[in-house]
Structure 1
C-alpha cells in the first residue's frame, strides 16, 4: 500500500521501509504529517491490534547535529514521559538509512485544524483543552523539562503551538513534538543571574540563550535576543494559545518582526464582540506580560478560571512543582541572587 505523496521514484525506498516495519509487526498506512527530516505515517500494530503513528526519519536528509545530538535527546526525553495528555512513546528502531519512532496515534487531528474548520471555541471547550494542556505542561515542568526550547535557527517550528496540540478520538488534548524539548539540569535551578527573564529564586530559574520556533508564539525576551527563562517561555506560548482558542486568531501580528516586537510590549486587546468572561481575559493578560510578572505553571494551576473548568486535581504535579520552588536550606550568595517582585 503506497502512502499519499509517494512518487514512483520513492517506491523502492517506500517498499524498503514498509518491509522493515512489517518485520516488527507494523502495517504502514497513509501519511498524516511531514517534517524537515521525515514523514509521519499511520500504522497498524498487528501484535497489539492497535493503531499507532510512525515517524520515519531519513538519515540522508537529517543533519549530523540532529542525528547525533537532538534525536537521541528526543528519544531520551520521551522514554521517561508517561502522561495522559502527552503523546506517548512506544519504541525506536534504527537501520543504516532510517530511524523509526513509534508513537501513540491521535486520530482527531490538531487544534489548529479544528479552529480553522469551526472557528473560536466555546468557553467550556477552551477551558477543557487549556486545562488538559496545563496538566501536560505541569507534568513536564515538574520533571524539569521544557517543551519550547529549540537548538538552532535551522530547526524552525518546534515549539508549543496549536499544531502541536493533537486531539484523540474523544477530543482530548495530546501534546506532541518533543524533538527539541530539553531537560533542565537540576543543579542549574540554583543558578540565578540578574536578567529580565528571571523571576524567582530556585523556581524555574534556568536561563537559555538559544531559541527557534514560530515567532507568533515567542515571548518578547526571545524576540529581543535576550537570555530567557524557558519555563516562562512555555507559559507565554500558553497565553497565545488560550487567546487563539477563544478569539480564533493570534493576538499579535507576526507578518512583520519589528511590528510583532512592538505589539508584544503592549497589553493584548480583545475584539469588541468577544464574549468570553473577564476571568478568562485576566488569565490571558497574566500570561502575555513581561517575564518579571508573568504567571508560572504553578500560578496557572491555581488560577480561578482554570479551577472553574478543572475536571481533576493535579495533586502529584503540584507537589513536585512546589518542591522545586522551595528555597534551599543554605544558599551560596555567590551562586544565587534573590530577585523580589
Structure 2
C-alpha cells in the first residue's frame, strides 16, 4: 500500500483513525505540499452490502460536496488489490467529542459558534439532496475554530422535495432518533435534526442526553424528554432549541430550515 501511495505522490504517516474495514492515515502530499488524511478502505474485508450499496454511494456523494464546513476530498485512488484511498483535507485538531472531554461543558457562546457551523453544513447537505445519517461528535472535526463534517459512509441521496422514507438503521445508537431505533419508516433528514440535538446537548453538558446501554429504557427517556442539568444555567432560548431538536414525534420536529431560523442562533 505504501509503495502504491508513494507512486501517487503520498508519503504515509501515522494512523489517526480506524473503522471496521477502513483506516485513516496522515500523509504528506507532494502535489499539495501539505499534510492530508487518507482513508484506506479494504473492499476485500467489507461485507457484500457495504461494497455493493454504501461504498459506491459514499464515493458518489463526497465528490459532489463542496462546503467550508465539510471535509474536502482531493482525489480517489484504487489499488490493484482492491483498496480504495480517499485523499482528504486533514483536520489537525481532533473531533468535538475529544474537545469537550478536554474542555468540559462549553459556555453557550462557544457551543453556539460550533453548532452554527454544523447547521450550515447540514443545511447545505439537505439542500443538495443528501442526508448524512451518522451525525455524532466524532464525525465533526476541528481545524482551528472551524468545524468540518466528515464520514459520509451511511449517507443517502434524496431528491430535494422527495418524500422517500428510509427503513435502514444507520449511525450510532446514542445519537439515533426514536423512529430510527423503532425501525419504522422515517425521513432521514429529520433523523439528522435529532442527532444534531444530541450533539448540542453534548457540547453544553459534556455527556450524552440518553443512556444507550438499555434501548427500551432509552426509548422511554426519549419520549419523556431530557432535562438540562440545573447547575449549567442554560438560557431559556437554548433549552427551547434543544427541546425542538429532541422532539420525539418526527412530524413535529423542525426541518433544518426551521432550525436555522431559531432565535438562539439568529440573535447571537
TM over 0.5: yes
**Cα shift at 1:163:** 0.4
Q: What is the CA distance between 1:287 and its match in structure 2?
A: 0.8
- State the Cα distance separating 1:68 from its structure 2 match: 3.0
Match of 2:140 in 1: 165
Rounded to whole Å, the distance in 2 between the matches of 1:86 and 1:280 is 25
Runs of 4+ aligned residues of structure 1 deviating over 6 Å after TM superposition are none
Alignment partner, residue 102 of structure 2: 117
Q: Which residue matches 2:230? A: 272
The residue matched to 2:199 in structure 1 has which SS? helix
Which residue number corresponds to residue 248 of structure 1?
A: 206
Q: Does structure 1 residue 67 correspond to structure 2 residue 51?
A: yes
SS of the equivalent of 2:92 reads coil
By percentage of residues, which structure has more strand?
Answer: 2
Runs (5+) with no aligned partner, structure 1: 1-16, 149-158, 190-204, 310-341
Q: C-alpha distance in 2, partners of 1:210/1:101?
A: 25
- Which secondary structure does the structure 2 equivalent of 1:265 belong to? helix
Residue in 2 that maps onto 1:53: 37
Gaps of 5+ in 2: none
- Distance in 2 (CA, whole Å) between partners of 1:218 and 1:66 is 20
Cα contact 2:169–2:181 (8 A) shared by 1: no
Q: Deviations over 1:75-118 (max 9, x none)?
A: 11011100000011111111122111111110000000111111
Deviation at 1:57, TM superposition (A): 1.3
Measured in 2, the distance between the counterparts of 1:85 and 1:274 equals 28
Number of corresponding residues: 266
Counterparts of 2:97 and 2:30, CA distance in 1: 31
C-alpha distance in 2 between matches for 1:64 and 1:224: 25
Q: Distance in 2 between matches of 1:37 and 1:127?
A: 34
Counterpart position of 2:194: 236
For residues 189 and 43 of structure 2, what CA distance do their matches in structure 1 show? 31
Task: Tell me which residue corresponds to 1:129.
Answer: 114
CA distance in 1, matches of 2:97, 2:260: 24
Q: Distance in 2 between matches of 1:278 and 1:77?
A: 38
Taking the aligned partners of 1:298 and 1:96, their CA distance within structure 2 comes to: 44
Correspondences of 1:209-228 after superposition (within 5 Å): 209-228=167-186
Equivalent residue for 1:301? 260
1:177 aligns with 2:151: yes
Per the TM alignment, residue 59 of structure 1 is displaced from its structure 2 partner at its CA by 2.5
- The structural deviation recorded for 1:65 is 2.5
Alpha-carbon distance in 1 for matches of 2:74, 2:221: 42
Contact map agreement 2:176 2:195 (CA 8 A) in 1 = yes
8 Å contact kept, 2:112–2:265: yes
**Which of these two proteins has the greater Rg computed from alpha carbons?**
1
Q: Could you say which residue in structure 2 is the equivalent of 1:261?
A: 219
